[in-house]
Amino acid sequence: MAQFPGATAQRSSVALKHGAHHLGKRMDAQMEIWRNYGLGQFIHWGLYAIPGGHWKGKYYPGAAEWIRSWNGMPNEDYDNLYKQFNPQHFDAKAWAAQAKAMGARYVIITTKHHDGFCIWPSKYTNYTIANTPYKKDALKEIVDAYGAVGIDVYLYFSIIDWNHNGYRSAPAKTAQEKEAYEEFKLFTANQLKELLTKYPSTKGLWFDGTWDKAWIAEAAFTDSLETELRAMHPGLIIGSRFRADENGNRHFDTNGDIMGDYEQGWERKLPKTIADVHGNDWDCVMTVPENQWGYHSEWRGHVKTSTELIEMMAHSVALDGNFVLNFGPDGQGSVRPEEAKLAKEIGEWMNVNHEAIYDCAYAGLEKQDWGYITKSRKTGKYYMIVFNVPVSGALKIKIAPSAGVGKVYDLADSNKDYEPEEVHRSKAEGNEYLIHLKDRPVEPKVIVLECTDQDQDSGVLYEKAKT
């Protein structure tokens, strides 16, 4: 089992009070929908969008949504920004239309980031959008607009709350601190229940800031809160970044079992091989620049291109994950031009090639240097998503020993088909073919491969036999 880093050959079976709630993948209908999304949109939008990484003319290189915590920005200044929050260009329907055109099938929206500011009118604090000049419930506008175009909504919620008196990152020491933290716990639970009640179409919760020692020490509380939230909202999807077990283990409990419905640890990074994902569902959340989630008016460093992002999406789906691209609208509610351009370009690619992404998964075939292979969970078709064409112009593909190749054609044009050259046929190792490209594509291209005589699991069996 050496291919699973961190996993032991023999599962230890320590009795846990607050470990995983279920073993293995969730196979219900809602989780099946989640698994098949392929592409999602993340939105970071809050008060930090107003300074946009600058304060009093000074540039702050860190993540813009963290500006309150940098030296140079007095807390008091930040905590008064809500008096200016009045996004005159905010148009939830336009955001939703753009996300739809990009091909996103779910959205994760920041309801409350670490600063504690709520974009919904929470009745448990005054630090909300209701007390800004904007006044209206932006979250409701977003939930409704995305729902109307058929994009599922997930709520990002930060456990870190710099605005709440009882919040602390380390466990409370004095009786007074403990009492304050109890209030914070109640406040957190109330806000979460409020969100699920006010926005019943919510499909799941995406937690953040749960690395705090104080939160980690609350295994009993967080476990019962999770149980309560799930009971009040059947089908609710929660990732592995919500709680710790009684030994302080996060994401994976002391026995190595995932806590939550999917692995939520792939942040601005991707797994290299299928072994890295341990058979779990997972999502990768990605920024366009190096590390900016909230709006930063001055991006420095490398800014990803649509081709790079499409490659990351293909990479994710080929390893059984979803790819979630972050957007950071500005303080007026506008999506910046760079992001609008990327959304449009990704959308144009998705228009032609979405079949290789939606409802697709790990294909069980050996990875090749030319790109990624996905397989439709619904039709069993294989998709070769080509990013690097070899000088020879020939793409190698190895299929299961029991299979043969059927039709091979361009996804963009099924009349453009290929006559694969058989180079190797082996019962033990699988059958190897070369597909000779007719031209050199200028953008990521998808070739559909239909296999014959192939039993459902043969791809997976082939992979197992090899290790």
Which residues of the shown chain bind ligand JFZ in the complex (CB under 6 A)? 44, 63, 65-66, 208, 265, 267, 285, 293
Burial 293-326 (b: 16+ CB within 10 A, else e): bbbbeebeeeebebeebbbbbbbbbbbbbbbbbb
Structure tokens at 421: 């050259």
β-pairing, 404-410 vs 371-376, is unpaired
Q: How far is the CB of 131 from ligand JFZ (least distance, A)?
A: 23
Contact status, residue 146 vs residue 94, Cβ threshold 8 Å: no
SS3 content of the chain, % helix, strand, coil (to 5): 30, 20, 50
Q: How far is the CB of 64 from ligand JFZ (least distance, A)?
A: 9
CB nearer to ligand JFZ: give 324 or 435.
Answer: 324
The runs of H, that is alpha helices, within 199-256 are: 213-216, 219-232
Torsion of CA 341, 307, 149, 159, to 10 degrees: -90
Q: How far is the CB of 68 from ligand JFZ (least distance, A)?
A: 11
Q: How far is the CB of 81 from ligand JFZ (least distance, A)?
A: 17
CB nearer to ligand JFZ: give 326 or 376.
Answer: 326
Residue whose C-alpha is closest to residue 215's, from 399, 375, 18: 18
Q: How far is the CB of 317 from ligand JFZ (least distance, A)?
A: 20
Cα–Cα distance, 467 to 174 (Å, whole number): 54
CB nearer to ligand JFZ: give 159 or 399.
Answer: 159
Which residues make Cβ contacts (< 8 Å) with residue 47, sequence separation at least 6? 78, 81, 82, 85, 115, 117
CB nearer to ligand JFZ: give 115 or 257.
Answer: 115
Q: How far is the CB of 454 from ligand JFZ (least distance, A)?
A: 38
CB nearer to ligand JFZ: give 40 or 459.
Answer: 40
CB nearer to ligand JFZ: give 242 or 387.
Answer: 242
Contact status, residue 58 vs residue 72, Cβ threshold 8 Å: yes
Output the 3-class SS for 245-266: CCCCCECECCCCCECCCCEEEE
Contact status, residue 290 vs residue 64, Cβ threshold 8 Å: no
Q: How far is the CB of 162 from ligand JFZ (least distance, A)?
A: 12
CB nearer to ligand JFZ: give 215 or 293.
Answer: 293
Q: How far is the CB of 267 from ligand JFZ (least distance, A)?
A: 4
- Degrees, nearest 5: CA angle 260-185-248: 45
CB nearer to ligand JFZ: give 285 or 318.
Answer: 285
Residue 391 CB burial class (10 angstroms; 0-12, 13-18, ≥19): exposed
CB nearer to ligand JFZ: give 212 or 443.
Answer: 212
Which residues make Cβ contacts (< 8 Å) with residue 373, sequence separation at least 6? 318, 363, 365, 367, 382, 383, 384, 385, 397
Which residues make Cβ contacts (< 8 Å) with residue 79, sequence separation at least 6? 68, 163
Q: How far is the CB of 111 from ligand JFZ (least distance, A)?
A: 12
Q: How far is the CB of 208 from ligand JFZ (least distance, A)?
A: 5
CB nearer to ligand JFZ: give 208 or 253.
Answer: 208
